[in-house]
Amino acid sequence: MLHNDHPNRMLDISRVGRKADDLAKHLHETVIGQDEAVAQIVQTYQTHLVGLSSTGRPIATFLFLGPTGTGKTRIVESTAEALLNNPGAVIKIDCAEFQHDHEIAKLIGSPPGYVGHRESRPRLSQDAIDKHHTESAKISVVLFDEIEKASDALWNLLLGILDKGTLTLGDNQRVDFSRSLIFMTSNLGAAEMNAMLSPKLGFASAVADPNDGEKLSERIASTGVEAARRRFTPEFINRLDKIVVFKPLGDAELRRILDIELTAVQQRLYHSAPSCALKLRVFDGCKRYLLQQGTDTRYGARHLKRTIERLVVQPVANLIATEQVCNGDIICVDFCSDSGQLDFWKECREVPEQKTAAAAKEMTQIFHTDVGFWGWMNAAQVVAAPTCM
């Protein structure tokens, strides 16, 4: 049957509802260049919202692989930020802490009669899992980091959670994970990925042509998936909804991340001294310099963040500490080709004292409203000026 026999009955399966769409927008704004991971999270959330998720299992189980500093942990925090209004609302289990079987007691508690019983609260108790629930979202975001380092005992525990959505504690109480989004990350294949991303061998020259960049991402993806299949048992792989290999970040992605990070610096400025209302104006020459100094694809966005700390945040801290800038000043930063360094200077704004206080109050209010951290961040302004002075 031809589909245009029924032109009025065709449906659009690509659209999602408002809540899932809000989540998608937030993830796209905060996590750059990882569209597949975003699409997977949004789709499972949508399926859960309409009550169509499989019963007796977590809402979603994802394994994230890929080069370091590409957003694997960030996307989990961002999901918590969007759903629970708090990027810190992630139950994070660092599997490297549980490499010996006896350490599992920290997660599930000791059985009655054993040392440690009732001495400390198990980290995976129902209360701990549900502690970030809000009125509008009864969802838990759970992250098992570096799962390749987990002991056999932790593996068995994880398999049970993935399969049945429940966990039995040392005192036989059951913990329900059926309202949890479960994320796992691993650095498997990272060494091979790094070799591909080494400036001499691959990425820097490869991404000069976007098609080559795409091919490199594909090679990295298959390296990650193969490494996972070699290391993990089929029964584990079989319980995952999806393995997503994060892409290395290219120039275009780093440029967008730079803007996000500079906005975060502006927000920190307001946060550290709300009554001071200092503003940061970063010129394009400065941005280019930060990108040039902060791009090393082997280390992803972390290298860029460190560069911003070293070249912008630390000098600004010195300016504040020595009172070279104060109430209402605009701190300008641009690259100076003569000195080969960043130049800092200030523009004074004549801000009456009450107005500064009002601006700070406004910022604080936005921070505490339900638009949350990122809403506040977006309210803070990083001004880009077109030319170098």
Q: Which residues bind ligand ATP (CB under 6 A)?
A: 31-34, 68-74, 187, 249, 257, 260, 300-302, 305
Min dist. Cβ of residue 232 to ligand ATP (A) = 17
Min dist. Cβ of residue 296 to ligand ATP (A) = 13
Alpha carbon of 236 to those of 10, 61, 85, 103, 221: distances in Å? 38, 11, 31, 21, 19
Q: Tell the burial category of 144 from Cβ atoms under 10 Å away from its Cβ (0-12, 13-18, 19+).
A: buried
Q: Which does 70 bind (CB under 5 to 8 A by kind): Mg ion, ligand ATP, none?
A: ligand ATP
Contact between 356 and Mg ion (CB under 5 A)?
A: no
Min dist. Cβ of residue 29 to Mg ion (A) = 20
Q: Which does 69 bind (CB under 5 to 8 A by kind): Mg ion, ligand ATP, none?
A: ligand ATP
Alpha carbon of 189 to those of 147, 215, 220, 222, 227: distances in Å? 13, 17, 9, 10, 5
> Which of these, 298, 311, 223, 310, lies nearest to 70 by C-alpha position?
298
> Which of these, 18, 111, 35, 20, lies nearest to 71 by C-alpha position?
35
Q: Which does 44 bind (CB under 5 to 8 A by kind): ligand ATP, Mg ion, none?
A: none
Closer to ligand ATP by Cβ: residue 264 or 332: 264
Residue written as token pair 């570096």: 146
Stretch that binds Mg ion, among 68-76, 174-182, 295-303, 353-361 (CB under 5 A): 68-76
Min dist. Cβ of residue 365 to Mg ion (A) = 33
Contact between 73 and Mg ion (CB under 5 A)?
A: yes
Min dist. Cβ of residue 87 to ligand ATP (A) = 9
Residue type present at position 229? R
For residue 319, how far is the Cα from the chain centroid?
Answer: 31
Q: Which two tokens stand for residue 69?
A: 């500093």
Contact between 149 and Mg ion (CB under 5 A)?
A: no
Q: Which two tokens stand for residue 25?
A: 């927008």
Q: How many residues bind Mg ion (CB under 5 A)?
A: 2
Closer to ligand ATP by Cβ: residue 34 or 263: 34
Instruction: State the helix-helix crossing angle for 18-30 and 35-49, rounded to 10 degrees.
Output: 160
Closer to ligand ATP by Cβ: residue 197 or 301: 301
Instruction: Please name the residues in contact with 59: beta carbons below 8 A apart, sequence gap of 6 or more.
Output: 44, 45, 48, 53, 139, 178, 179, 180, 181
Q: Which does 250 bind (CB under 5 to 8 A by kind): Mg ion, ligand ATP, none?
A: none
Q: Which does 279 bind (CB under 5 to 8 A by kind): Mg ion, ligand ATP, none?
A: none
Residues engaged in binding Mg ion (CB under 5 A): 72-73
